[in-house]
Amino acid sequence: MKAIILAGGIGTRLRPLSCTRPKLLFPVLNKPLLDITIERLAKAEVNGLTLAVKYMAEIFMQRYGESKHGIKISYSIEKKPMHTGGAIKYAEELIGHKEPFLVLNGDIFSTIDYKALIAQHKENNAIATIALCKVEDPSRYGTVKLTKENMITQFVEKAPLGKAPSNLINAGVYVLDPKIFDYIPAGRPVSIEREVFPKLAKENKLFGYQFNEIWIDIGKPADYLRANRVLLDNEQQKHLFGDNVKVDSDVEFNNPVRIDSDVTIGQNSKVGPYTILGRGVVLGKNVSIENSVVFPNATIEDNASVRGAVIGEETTIGASAEIMEGCVIGDYASIHPNVTVGKGVTVCHSKEVTENVANSDRII
């Protein structure tokens, strides 16, 4: 079985952290999301993977090379962004016409049973089978009208609130028959959701596979934090440490927490709940951090506090600084001591912040 992962998006909604790394390499429980996805594909006996890349393509090629977890990896490198459908068409030669193949949006974490999805696709003799999951607010996604026989008779992308045909959304995981290539025009960007699925639905060639396993999209900072939170909840071990973690006296951990290797935590600090510290992170004394993800090698100095934020790689949060809910601090940024960064602020990578920042401001 072959699979293609759509990995070429710019990830504008995850800026500024996506300015310095592709969205698919954001760490989820301290591991790049794409590593987790490839491991899951290997378990489902996928043996050939095409990464459809454009933005920061070379980072993927350097990191994954020609194979990973026994899966042979090829790269479809777009000259311009081809969007979801266009990217699949662009990879036609690498995928070939022999058998159905899996397609994954790379910015999704899911524990979906790929084998069951593939089996259902084959039973229905479909051109496309879309994995579907139920959500409360489907307005951000593609929604479907599904018959009892799992045939999709209507596919609507981002229907206005109250106008969606159901709460079943396109989970960004599909099985496609090679006949799909005849439905995608070549040489230009194509949205499979807007141009191809609605057409297949009209022709009764589109099917759905409902699943109840975990499904999380990491597209926006709040989603990204939520993904880490859900997975921490889902872990058996609520308090997991890597190697060589140094914890000073009177540190309070409120589970769940996940601490990677080589982390140092100073006296009287409070860590958690829902806190993930990447490799080499240093917390000073009396630091308080909760509901946050800290990327590797960041430093949070004495008496600083961080709540509900994502802190980039090698960032410094100065002594007694306060980082409030919804903040995203880019890599290598420096927040000076005693500065308060208000709710929902984004700070671009490498910026120095020397004064208090008002809620929702953007430091660019």
DSSP string covering 8-50:
----GGGTTGGGSS-GGGSEETTEEHHHHHHHHHHHTT--EEE
Residue nearest to ligand GTP (CB): 9
CB of 219 to ligand GTP, least distance (A): 5
One residue of 20, 37, 50, 84 binding ligand GTP per CB under 6 A: 84
Nearer to ligand GTP, 175 or 271 (CB): 175
One residue of 2, 40, 54, 205 binding ligand GTP per CB under 6 A: 54
Sign of torsion over alpha carbons 169, 172, 175, 179: positive
CB of 7 to ligand GTP, least distance (A): 5
Q: Is 83 in the site for ligand GTP (CB under 6 A)?
A: yes
Which region, judged by CB under 6 A, interacts with ligand GTP, from 58-66, 83-91, 328-336, 338-346? 83-91
Tell me the C-alpha distance between 197 and 89, whole Å: 14
Q: Is 87 in the site for ligand GTP (CB under 6 A)?
A: yes
Task: Note the residue count of the chain.
Answer: 364
Q: Is 100 in the site for ligand GTP (CB under 6 A)?
A: no
Tokens of 159: 């229907």
One residue of 21, 23, 270, 349 binding ligand GTP per CB under 6 A: 23
Tell me the C-alpha distance between 252 and 79, whole Å: 51
Nearer to ligand GTP, 108 or 293 (CB): 108
Four-point Cα dihedral 48, 53, 56, 58, nearest 10: 40
One residue of 30, 37, 105, 120 binding ligand GTP per CB under 6 A: 105
Nearer to ligand GTP, 169 or 357 (CB): 169
Q: Residue 278's CB: how many other CB atoms inside 10 A?
A: 23
Q: Which of residues 182-221 bind ligand GTP (CB under 6 A)?
A: 219
Tokens of 240: 């997991």
Name every residue whose Cβ is closer than 8 Å to that of residue 203 and which is 6 or more positions away in sequence: none
Q: Is 13 in the site for ligand GTP (CB under 6 A)?
A: yes
Q: Which residues are tagged catalytic?
A: 158
Alpha-helical regions (H) of 134-273: 197-202, 221-234
Q: Is 107 in the site for ligand GTP (CB under 6 A)?
A: yes
Nearer to ligand GTP, 196 or 306 (CB): 196
CB of 91 to ligand GTP, least distance (A): 8
Are 51 and 42 in contact by the 8 Å Cβ rule? The answer is no
Nearer to ligand GTP, 54 or 121 (CB): 54
Counting residues that bind ligand GTP (by CB under 6 A) gives 22
Q: Is 61 in the site for ligand GTP (CB under 6 A)?
A: no
Q: Is 196 helix (H, G, I), strand (E, B) or coil?
A: helix
CB of 90 to ligand GTP, least distance (A): 8
Tell me the C-alpha distance between 227 and 295, whole Å: 15
Q: Is 227 helix (H, G, I), strand (E, B) or coil?
A: helix
Nearer to ligand GTP, 105 or 286 (CB): 105
Are 224 and 274 in contact by the 8 Å Cβ rule? The answer is no
Q: Is 85 in the site for ligand GTP (CB under 6 A)?
A: no
Nearer to ligand GTP, 9 or 138 (CB): 9
| Nearest to 21, CA basis, from 47, 59, 51, 49 | 59
Q: Which of residues 150-169 bind ligand GTP (CB under 6 A)?
A: none
Which residues of this chain interact with ligand GTP, rule CB under 6 A?
6-13, 23, 52-54, 78, 81-84, 87, 105-107, 219
